[in-house]
Amino acid sequence: MAKPHSHSPHPLSLLLLLLSLLTPSLQRTQKLSPVDLRALIAIKNSLTDVPSRRGSPAAFFSTWDFSAPDPCSTFSGLTCASGRIITLTLGTGLSDSRGLAGSLPPSIADLTELTQLILFPGIVTGPIPFQLGWLASLRVISLTNNRLTGPIPQSLSLLTNLHTLDLSYNSLAGPIPPGLTQLPNLKVLILASNSLSGEVPYNVSSQLLHLDFNRNGLTGPLPPSLPTTLRYVSLSENDMSGPIGSVFDSLADLVHLNLGSNRLSGPLPQTLFRTTLQSLLLQRNNLSGWVPQAGSQPPSYGEGSIVDLSHNVITGELSPILAGVESLYLNNNRLIGTVPREYVKSVYVGTTRTLYLQHNYISRFPVEPGSMLPDTVSLCLSYNCMVPPVGMEACPASAGTELSRPASQCSVFNYG
């Protein structure tokens, strides 16, 4: 009896067989962890897209189909590694999207490999889950421009890997947890535009680059020291008091300082007038004394520089130290005497584009006869102890309509 003829398998058949055997294995390695999947279901149940004003919402959750085999490749806002979610971005961030509504569920903390949590602007309400403090790998938390309420969880001070924390533009209340400003890897801390109260933490030891607490209800003095690494500091529009002192003396890399709209008092520290500090905003405080003298090496201010000392009680004659600042606001103080020629020159060559000196007691602005003010310059000299030169005025509406002070207010000064 003849043996049946045996055929060798076709190479293509072997390849298809191999792929069919490997495919389940590949799917298993990419399949999302059941724990993470349950967390996503809870998030979807707690949050919803806010309908667009145009009637066609840019729905963030439209891709969240839980019957899909691989959420990591089909769900918006996810990045995965080895079947675990490592970044979660909630919302589209598109201009035609009104964001999300609802609340943040505590089950976000089940995403134990999460390194980045971002919530785009919307109308999400309720507290920040304290369970976020359990996510030891978190490096970025950004929950800005929503309607979050309650305190900042103390547990966030446990996140030793945290690099950026931005909770700005919400309705958070209570004190700033002192542990936040001691996190060893924190570089960016933004808590602006909330309803936070109490004092700035005494110990700010994090090696921060960016610190923004503006538009809150913070009280008390400035902290005794700040990290020398800081480049940006904003504590404006609070209710802080006391002197500025020497807290900023050692911050050699500081580029932007905004302490405006507080109740700070005392003299202007000489150390704040330096070339590196290109944005110095101290307006609407109770600062007093004289503008410091220029010294042997006056600061050199560059394009885009701004200094605002307006609405204080600064007295005496103006020193040349601020000549060359592009936008300079010295209005509503008690400055007297003649404006130094360095400022006049800086205005006429167009280096200084805005110079507001209104509502002081200045007696002279030494303009050369026939000089023409550049069209790009805004100069305001009204309501001083002088009549502004004809054609020199470019004042804001807040300056009022009176050109000069009454003589009775100027007679107490000796202009020599």
The torsion angle over the Cα atoms of residues 94, 98, 99 and 104, rounded to 10 degrees, is 170
Tokens of 346: 């800086």
342-391 pLDDT, tens digit each: 999 999 999 999 999 999 999 999 987 777 888 889 999 999 999 887 66
Flag whether pLDDT at 217 surpasses 90.
yes
Residue 14 CB neighbours (<10 A): 11
Per-position b or e across 323-336, b if 16+ CB within 10 A of its CB: bbbbbbbbbbbebb
What does the chain come to in residues? Answer: 416
Residue-level pLDDT at 85: 97
Question: Could you tell me the pLDDT band of residue 55, with boundaries at 50, 70 and 90?
Answer: low
Residue-level pLDDT at 89: 97
300-319 pLDDT, tens digit each: 898 999 999 999 999 999 99
Helix (H, G, I), strand (E, B) or coil at 388: coil
Least confident of 36-45, 184-193, 395-404: 395-404
CB 222 within 8 A of CB 244: yes
Flag whether pLDDT at 187 surpasses 90.
yes
Flag whether pLDDT at 56 surpasses 70.
no
* CA angle (100 as vertex; 97, 103 as ends), nearest 5: 170
Residue 37 CB neighbours (<10 A): 16
- Identify the H or E element spanning 409: helix 407-410
Structural domains of the chain sorted by starting position, each given as residue range(s) with its CATH number in brackets: 265-415 (3.80.10)
Q: What is the DSSP string of 181-234?
A: GG-TT--EEE--SSEEEEEPPS---S--SEEE--SSEEEEPPPS---TT-SEEE
| Mean pLDDT value of segment 206-221 | 97
Flag whether pLDDT at 18 surpasses 70.
no
Q: 37 or 302: which carries more pLDDT confidence?
A: 37
Least confident of 4-18, 205-219, 373-387, 388-402: 4-18
Helix (H, G, I), strand (E, B) or coil at 272: helix
Q: 170 or 18: which carries more pLDDT confidence?
A: 170
Q: Mean of the per-residue pLDDT values for the chain?
A: 89
Residue 250 CB neighbours (<10 A): 13
What does pTM read for this prediction? 0.89
Per-position b or e across 131-145, b if 16+ CB within 10 A of its CB: bbbbbeebbbbbbbb
Helix (H, G, I), strand (E, B) or coil at 12: helix
Q: Indicate the residue type of 32.
A: L
Tokens of 256: 């932007």
Cross-strand bridge partners of residue 356: 329, 380
Question: Could you tell me the pLDDT band of residue 413, with boundaries at 50, 70 and 90?
Answer: low
- Identify the H or E element spanning 345: helix 341-348
Tokens of 80: 């995965």
Flag whether pLDDT at 24 surpasses 80.
no
Q: Nearest CA to 276 among 245, 252, 248? A: 252
Residue-level pLDDT at 347: 93
Distance CA 280, CA 267 (A): 15
Q: Nearest CA to 152 among 138, 172, 122? A: 172
Least confident of 4-13, 210-219, 260-269: 4-13
Question: Could you tell me the pLDDT band of residue 4, with boundaries at 50, 70 and 90?
Answer: very low
Report the relative pairing of strands 78-81 and 263-267 from DSSP bridges. unpaired
| Mean pLDDT value of segment 215-233 | 97
What letter does residue 413 receive in the DSSP assignment? S
Q: What is the DSSP string of 18-78?
A: HHHHHHHHHHHHHSPPHHHHHHHHHHHHHEEEPPPTTSS---GGGG--TTSS-HHHHSTTE
Q: Identify the residue whose tokens are 């102890």.
A: 385
Q: Identify the residue whose tokens are 């509502």.
A: 359
83-101 pLDDT, tens digit each: 999 999 999 887 778 899 9
